[in-house]
Chains A and B, each alone.
Chain A
Amino acid sequence: MSNETSATTTRRGQAPRGERIADWADGRLGIYSLAKSNMRKIFPDHWSFMLGEICLYSFIIIILTGVYLTLFFHPSMAEVTYHGSYVPMHGIRMTQAFESTLDISFDVRGGLLIRQIHHWAALVFLGAMMVHMMRVFFTGAFRKPREVNWLFGFLLLVLGMFTGFTGYSLPDDLLSGTGVRFIEGVILAMPLVGSYLQMFIFGGEFPGHDIIPRFFTVHVLLLPGIMLGLLVAHLILVFYHKHTQFPGAGKTNKNVVGMPLLPVYMAKAGGFFFLVFGVISVIAAVASINPVWAIGPYRPDQVSTGAQPDWYMGFAEGLVRVMPGWEWDIWGHTINFGVLIPILIFPLVLVAIAVYPFVESWVTGDKREHHILDRPRNAPTRTGFGVAWLTAYLIMLIGGGNDLWATHFHLSLNALTWFVRIGFFVGPVVAFIVTKRICLGLQRRDRDKVLHGRESGIIKRLPHGEFIEVHEPLNQEQLHTLTQHDQPKPFEIGPEVDENGVERKVKRTTKLRAKLSKGYYGEDNVIPKPTPEEYKEITSGHGHH
């Protein structure tokens, strides 16, 4: 490559400076071949493909603002007396962590705005990850070859939750201190190891002097470091696998239809970064978040009602709030089921969605590569499971804020708690059934549209007086979109006896798989898409059907 460029140099004289710099860099970094293979990388265009970008940009915003905050924050639990500029706190004893948070809010230039951008961006980041994850889930984008990337994304969500939680705890205010106390209770509830772990993590009795500095290290170094690594890996895999695309004319499993990375996609993405930064900044400038000055410094003897974690930990809070306070006393050791069971369910709920891709591919036996997304209606069981999971999650979120639901909707706290207890088990089942029915209904609608065309709204009167609505046949592209999906046959165990008439041994897991597979692709769980014969038969001759 460099040989060719030097040849052009001699032919046309001195090459422009930009080209010379590029040549210099290419000779050392090999950027031309990199650029050649990647600059024309195609990205399909759809708003839901930008949800991941919202995550990425809010993460960048969090890092930028977080760096600014570390310049002024003192992660220390040493006690001081406040003499800063917020008068209602004068003379109150507090930790240096809280004092420096007040200073950031009132005395550091731009401090409050940056603090609020940081915190709002964190809420948006977690929310965007959740929505992004749901987009990937409902469209089946997690299928081969993207299962590993799904797990990377899931880990990012979980780590994001804990990074958020440690950050929320750092100001050492009465709200977050209550959250740390909650964590202490969770650790203590672990049988056998609880009290040792608690002493180890807190460096002594609660609250001690170590927890804030330790959370600081975890919050600014350990977790974001891991997240950054995972994020890069996540993006590399997106690049390597190429982006998925929605079904449509001309879109196959072997191509990607969209815009090239440079210049179109890059310009859009770059512009979108500033839009995200702008929206979050406007929110941070308009709405207050975690006003620690109103909340006050943490003291173990004080507590306030309405003490909740940030929303992404809300469902964990809900689990603990609605769990009955059962306790066993065995040989002088207390087993606190009121906390123990919730902290077992908490990871189970998360893992349930994380392992779903593997469960699905085991049940369906589908090991093919997929680059065309599913329309959620064409995977009713998956869509039903996703909605059921979201229902359980949302019901627990209601449980986590049950006091505010009670006061704002004039309900009884106790009745609400029972609603959540029952709803956590019943809600997902109902949601699953309802969603599946809706999906099947939509499949019927698609079938009807393919065979009979689109309702045109034109009413025609036939010579004998009958009124009919004229249906317009769909065009080829629309027909393709509605019929391109596979409808696999359910997995069968096969004959019960082998060729010699001896009963075959069928593993229990195989039986389970066959049963589940029927749930995916069995007769009642899929509306057969119209075959070409059906289509031909119906479209030949009578046009008005």
Chain B
Amino acid sequence: MKKLSARRRHPLAALVVLLFALAVTGGLYAAFAPADKAQADDTAQSLAIKEGKKLFAVGCASCHGTGGQGTSDGPSLVGVGAAAVDFQVGTGRMPAQQPGAQVPRKKNIYSQAEIDQLAAYVASLGAGPSVPGKEQYSKDGADIAKGGELFRTNCAQCHNFTGKGGALTNGKFAPTLEGVDPKHIYEAMETGPQNMPSFGDGSLSPQNKKDIVSYLGAVNSDDTPSPGGLGLGGLGPVSEGLFGWIAGLGALIAVAIWVAARTTKAKKS
């Protein structure tokens, strides 16, 4: 110990002590810190990211860049979250078929498992909204009337009264919401795809979103009752006018022609 105490005033002593302290804290941390860090490569989450990355490289990277950082052909996906991926790929919009005013909905070619993997990978690029759970968009506990009011206030100006869709500028459009999975509607509100503004939980609370999704399920789905008969697309006076002219007046003129053709011959008395 004498040797040590003799050198305690050595100019390099402080450095040695610092190194020693660092080594001790580092060593202690390595010894006591949660062990899974070292085994992380074997978990499901990491596997999904890995698989997702592979899928991403095949289907998405040509536009969004190999790291999802975005290129001139596609936006950056850092921070868009799993919900955006689930919506875009789940509704068939992504991968896009061709550039244009807007990417339309089409047949989805990915399985839900693959979509989840892609979503996991994109979510790992940066924090964003996650895929909603079933209870978030189920009808239970939803106020349909309130949802209708919210829909007419926030959504109808682009999507029409009951979500039949409408036109936007220069070939863009608000798509019909008929036959869209409630989950996807919820995700669209969260993430604001394409021309749609996003309605974060600050502007539309999760309960509000649930109400809106349930309202659409009540007024614009396959089991929506139509008390008046044929809905004629739910597009309002234009389709009604067309139907009135073709089926209404058309039938009446046909009847008139029929009546006029059946004329009595004047009897000679």
Contact = CB atoms under 8 A, between A and B. Distances in A.
A123 B248 contact: yes
Interface stretch (B17-25, B26-34, B52-60, B159-167): B159-167
A305 B167 contact: yes
Interface majority SS (helix, strand, loop, mixed), chain B: helix
Nearest to A410: B171
Interface string B176-210: 00000000000000000000000000000000000
Given A291-B228, A403-B167, A410-B171, A311 B244 contact: yes
Interface stretch (A82-90, A213-221, A334-342): A82-90
Contacts of A293: 227
A131 B256 contact: no
B206 to A, nearest CB: 20
Interface stretch (B1-9, B78-86, B120-128, B233-241): B233-241
Q: Which of A91, A105, A291, A299 has the most CB of B within 10 A?
A: A291
Contact of A311 (B153, B241, B253): B241
B35 interface: no
Interface stretch (A11-19, A190-198, A269-277, A498-506): A269-277
Interface stretch (B39-47, B61-69, B261-269): B261-269
Contacts of A49: 260
B174 interface: yes
Chain B interface residue bracket vs A: 35 or more
Contacts of A127: 244-245, 248-249
A294 interface: yes
Nearest to A176: B237
B252 interface: yes
Contacts of A54: 249, 252-253, 256
Q: Which of B173, B237, B242, B259 has the most CB of A within 10 A?
A: B237
A402 B170 CA distance: 12
A91 B253 contact: no
Contacts, number: 212
Interface in A42-85: 45-51, 53-54
Interface majority SS (helix, strand, loop, mixed), chain A: helix
B227 A280 contact: no
Given A128-B249, A311-B245, A304 B160 contact: yes
Nearest to A416: B167
A412 B152 CA distance: 25
B230 interface: yes
B179 to A, nearest CB: 16
B12 interface: no
B158 interface: yes
A272 B167 contact: no
A127 B237 CA distance: 14
Interface string A245-276: 00000000000000100001000100110011
Interface of B: 101, 143-146, 148-149, 152-153, 156-162, 164-171, 173-174, 215, 218-219, 226-232, 234-245, 247-249, 251-253, 255-257, 259-261, 263-264, 266
30 contacts: A47-B253, A50-B260, A87-B144, A87-B218, A88-B148, A88-B218, A106-B227, A120-B248, A123-B248, A124-B244, A124-B249, A175-B161, A259-B264, A259-B266, A272-B259, A276-B252, A279-B252, A284-B229, A288-B227, A288-B229, A294-B162, A294-B234, A302-B156, A303-B156, A304-B161, A305-B167, A307-B236, A311-B242, A404-B239, A415-B171
